[in-house]
Amino acid sequence: MNIYISQYVGNEPLAGLFSAVAIVMTLRLLQYDDALIPKWHLSALGLVLGLAMLAKATPVLLCLPLALFLPEVMLKLRTGKRDITFNLILVFGIAFIVCGWYYLRNWIELGKPFVGGWDLTRTIDWWQDPGYRTVYDFLAFGTSLHYPIYAGVNGFLDSIYSTFWLDGFLSSIITYEGHPPWNFGLMASCAILSVLPSMGIILGIVRSLLIEKCANRGALFAVTCIGIYLAALLFLYLKLPIYTTAKATYTLGILPCYALVCVSGLDLIMRNRFMTAIVHAIIVCWGVVAYSSFFVV
């Protein structure tokens, strides 16, 4: 999704970039053991977080995992409560200085800090099917594996899968004559090749929660970010019952989290030379096909 969304005109790639940088900086902080956390690192984290929220509102979801994990790291380093409070104010205070004016302006002008594209205050009248949700929308999965284009109309899981590994909604195509010069046949084949990295992400989440538990703070932080973003997607999917609501590109900013848990999950599979060779071969094929789908060679 990072490859194809970067070829669109929009603020999603920029918000994803700053969010990913903030996550990587946080993962670095989680590795501190005996050293004090430098104030410049916390200030830079606040700056990047503020820029992410200035680009788009979605990165505000990162505030919760940061507020949960940063104090835990500081307590492990035996930081005093006063210093912990100061450090948190430093991070979120700088972020507010960078982006707060924008949300305050929205609050004053529109009556709320966060205004979505579907919000009634924008006085935009539009409609998309289906207009309602059923239990089937949350349980069904499989259409995206053999018919990935517009598989999102089949339910939440198919929507996330088809937009995570390929442009399942063909978001850039208004008319066929204006479609980008992509290799659509290769793009569709990504649906099958992406089964393995999807399994890696799922196994990585299970490993972090059930096997290693709190042993790996970085992995646990990544799983927490993924959980919060998916919960927000589910909430939006219920609140706005249209077929394009559940797009994986809304989670573009947590790509480092996906990568971390995917590697952790694939590590469980690669227990011998035979399985290692198979995993490496499929990942290489997937990578070549993914890049070749969106860059004509």
Pair (287, 154) in one structural domain: yes
pTM of this prediction?
Answer: 0.92
The helix/strand/coil state of 130 is strand
- Label residue 274 by pLDDT band (50, 70, 90): very high
Q: Are residues 47 and 153 in the same domain?
A: no
Euclidean distance between CA atoms 13 and 17, whole angstroms: 6
- Spatial distance between the Cα atoms of 246 and 153, rounded to a whole number of angstroms: 10
Domain boundary residue among 120, 144, 168? 120
Q: How many domains does the chain have?
A: 2
231 is written with which tokens? 């919960």
Task: State pLDDT tens for residues 115-172.
Answer: 877 776 666 666 778 888 999 999 999 999 999 989 989 999 999 999 999 999 887 5
Whether residues 294 and 256 fall in one domain = yes
Q: What DSSP string describes 237-248?
A: HHHS-BTTS--G
Q: How big is the CA angle at 117 (ends 116 and 122), to the nearest 5 degrees? A: 95
Answer whether residue 86 shows pLDDT above 70: yes
Could you report the per-residue pLDDT of 235-245, keeping only the tens digit for each? 999 988 888 88
Q: Are residues 158 and 259 in the same domain?
A: yes
Tell me what pLDDT residue 181 has.
80
Q: Above 60 in pLDDT, residue 28?
A: yes
295 conformational bin, left if phi > 0, alpha if psi -120 to 50, beta if neither: beta
Q: Backbone phi, then psi, for 214, in 5-degree steps?
A: -95, 10
Domain end: 60, 95, 120, which one?
A: 120
- Domain boundary pick from 120, 140, 166: 120
Q: In terms of domains, do 224 and 251 share one?
A: yes
CA separation for the pair 161, 199 (Å, rounded) = 12
What are 243's strand-pairing partners? Answer: none
Give the residue numbers spanning the domain of 201.
127-297
Same domain assignment for residues 19 and 52:
yes
Residue 95 shares a structural domain with residue 163: no
- The two tokens of residue 85 are 């409070």
State yes or no: pLDDT of 272 exceeds 60: yes
C-alpha 262: how far from chain center: 13
